[in-house]
A and B are shown apart, each in its own frame.
Chain A
Amino acid sequence: MSMNTQGRPTAPAAVSTPVIDTVSGSRGLLQREDLLFEIGTPETTGVDLPTPRGLKDRLGGVKRKADTGLAGLSEPQAVRHYMRLSQKNYAIDLGLFPLGSCTMKHNPRLNEKMARLPGFADIHPLQPQATVQGALELIDELATWLKTLTGMPSVAMSPKAGAHGELCGMLAIRQALIARGEGESRKRVLVPESAHGTNPATAVQCGFIVDEIKADKRGRVDMADLKSKLARTDDIAGIMLTNPNTCGLFETDIKDIADLIHAAGGYFYCDGANFNAIVGRVRPGDLGVDAMHINLHKTFSTPHGGGGPGSGPTVFSEALAPFAPVPFVIKDEDSFFRLVEQTEGAAKDSFGRMVAFHGQMGMFVRALTYMLSHGADGLKQVAEDAVLNANYIQARLKHVMTPAFEGFCMHEALFSDAFTADGIETIDIAKALIDEGYHPMTMYFPLVVHGAMLIEPTETESKAELDRFCDALESIARRAAQGDETLKGAPYLAPAKRLDETRAARKPVLKWTAPLPEQIAAE
């Protein structure tokens, strides 16, 4: 035989794994990456621009004195820089993202493709309306979907995010009270203690005074407390209530609450953050709601993008509709879609304008694409599967963790930290999930449950994924119950260990500054 001995070994040799400290600071696929200011220079560029001709400027001397000094990178450097950074992030496309109250569902790629059509992405908000009839028609069509799904007669499309939608709703309530001549006398807004922090913050931004109402043992509004807060009614502006609420439960007394508030002369603002649980099955308009924002980035799958952009269209009842902000789209008799941009004519009672231009068009395109893909039948299934998945997680984990409340949940399962041994906290469980390859659940929220762990799987998880997640969390929960101290150091396998937030807050460093020459010399 001819014997070629130049090959390489094709099976791993049996060696024990040493601790490897690399020279580069990278660890295999996980590349070390410095700040772009440490890599690039102000002269480096990733674009080829023509040379200016050197015309005499017409700036009248209002010229920049010092250059920005900002570092640039060539295209390959820039692509690698952001590619490497991206790999230090968890993402829905990587795995289950069980953040309660955030509705981290799959973001369909068709949405992205449609949003990039030049007919949507490359049109200017102030070009003549005759040249953007398709865009205005799209806004009108999305508005129709939102009104139909909520059973509400009117919708403001311009709010830029959920909290901005809250602001929109509360400003409409403020305006309605002013129109009634009660703008100064009705200032009190009832907010459950379990509410998202944005609710009280928004109420105060609108000049209201927040009056907290308690939760009862079932995790719902304490009706006795509510009634006592309504003993006096002439100063009541309204209530802000999340439904399904932040404990993942449907407010059973919702209609009575609406009736009580209306009888007191106030309005009912519903925080629609958790609409995903009921979309296609329950219409908020049937529950007595006067205003509700809808997070297109939750229920209707527009991407969260690492913290925005969001979009928060806000639906209104007949009572509040006249006060909705400008702009809005109306369809003229000759089928021309027209923007009403000024507070006159059809918008004479409007509370005004919240933002420049017409809202988050890029998100509108994605949300409508999502709605058309699902249809009325599919959206109903979305809500059912979201609720089924959450209840499945609750059922699988209730023997090792402590459900915060009895009974079925809606789209998210809430646990307290009662099952953990002394010294082990919610954060330790959350961080241990990272080592298992998952993003942690929402922790320490809602505030009404001790050491809260709020888990929202959404409908876009398969049963196999849910089982894998439950297996991992179950094992962590058992370790927590036994007081396994190693949990305190988790995560061990993430791109970074636990970070020193105290140091960041005591001496804030909020931007990169060039090291001084003596610092460079010292290194």
Chain B
Amino acid sequence: MSTLEVSPSEPVSGPSGHTITNDFSIQVATVNGSGSQTANTVLMRSLFQMGIPVSGKNMFPSNIAGLPTWFTIRASKQGYIGRRKEIDFLVAMNPETAREDVMKLDRGAAVVYDEPLKLNQLRSDLHFYPVPFDKLVAPVCPDAKLRKLVRNMIYDGVVAFLLSIEMDEVHKALVKQFGKRKAKAADLNWGAAKAGFEFAARTFTKSDPYRAERMNATAGKIIIDGNAACALGAMFAGVTVVTWYPITPSSSLVESLIGYLKRFRHDPETGKATYAVVQAEDELASIGMALGAGWAGARSMTATAGPGISLMSEFIGLGYYAEIPAVVFDVERVGPSTGLPTRTQQGDILTNAILSHGDTKHPMFFPCSPEECFSMAIEAFDFAEQFQTPVFVMTDLDLGMNNWMADPFPYPEKPIERGKVLTGEDLDRLGGFARYKDVDGDGVGYRTLPGTKHPLASYFTRGSGHNERALYTEREDDYIHNMDRLAHKFEAMRKHVPGPVVRLAEGAEIGFIAVGTSDYAVRESCDQLRAEYGIEASYIRFRGYPFSEHLQDFIRRHERVYVVDQNRDAQLLALMRLELDPDLIAKLRSIRYYGGLPLDARTVTDETISQEGK
């Protein structure tokens, strides 16, 4: 009995067709709350453990249970880990979306599906593999209450058979996922995976071309989400006060951090915490606490997303004007308003650059990977204290909440830099200080911390007009002098924010500018443009704002420069327009994607070609 259910009139390539190895994407369509996260993570890990570069992207609803969710796993022997729009291998578990999911597939894709859905009737140009999940789960999971959760593991076994994923690796991934304490759950799930594998082995004749094969491209690497990487960075940066208010997609950043701090930041002698974490009543309070702590000398941070940023606006202005260090992790999501809370966007770039009323400017760091989440978190704490100002670390839901393959993080060798803080002895030597005086020419004054035991140490911090000595003033000259110094300080930051990554292509007429997670799509797009169209493109990825002088150089070198934005209004481009000369602005073009999913290379390539008129 053949299980290849294709229409005889339009046969797709059968078992004799070509093979596509380690270059495919799997999409699993399920209902959230059904325990599919475990099955998906195990599938992704199994590929990773076989040495194949892999990425996983969870597209989930803002809901706890019952709504559609999709998990995409991309395996790429070339190491591309950005999202790929085209799905090669669909696992259709959700009756609500199955029809649309199948109709969207390109010809030749494979579909594993729950047999009663009868998806094979929809199209004749796909490879269908029907699986009777309910029948298979009953014998391996006698407890009917658990079946819903174990059922998904069956597709891991089926997919493992169809893609030649090694079952030993599936088992290893399962054990890792459940840990030693949940050995029973791991056993139960392993039984389900095996049942799926055995069913597929005795039932299916493989007809699709996709196949996994052991490589050696992931040795030593780790799998981590960006939020956990930021959390680790914060811990190794020596964060001492963490204040937060839960908001998707940033909550898991602080939750990871709490987990790490509890394990690794208690004094071994006293057992006491060398940190404080406060879940605040709202974001007004979380940023206020972070600034209060930063003022008093702590390394303080908060983490939030767009709606929280809006609420923090007033306090960020105070932090700017009163010059108080704090690190704000902004895990961007789709706005405006509540927007799409579980979808990704680079939606806060413009807002954060000038957050709050009056003339304000704020530095931003743009990590694109877990490695940079870790290293830039550490840099951000040093930077905030060095420049005595709030710093935004701009990640997004894609980076923050998805699992990424990453190189192990190097231990921070540079000692912690606490910036310009005067002690009582310093004050004896200097005979006093003026809090907001630009002594060193970098616009940054010296501060003292509350508790400094010296009659000349105190000063009065305020968000109202103040002179060099931190005294109240409404004088025109005092105000202008202070604001000019703050502007000068911002200019001084250009050389100190993380520098850009520049890739100049020889003879390239066009160039790309991007930040953060646009990186994966842009790099892959550069390869696509070369391979498919013979177009060479240079690429500069900024990792910090204010932009370094590389911006002008890069634009001058090219005829046309495409600024890639994951938002509707070309926010990154708009920020560049604010400081560029008209001749350079004239060279800028915009590529924008704002659908809420991680940016993919094909979108960038197609839009570039369209604008290039090719």
| Chains A and B come from one and the same complex | no
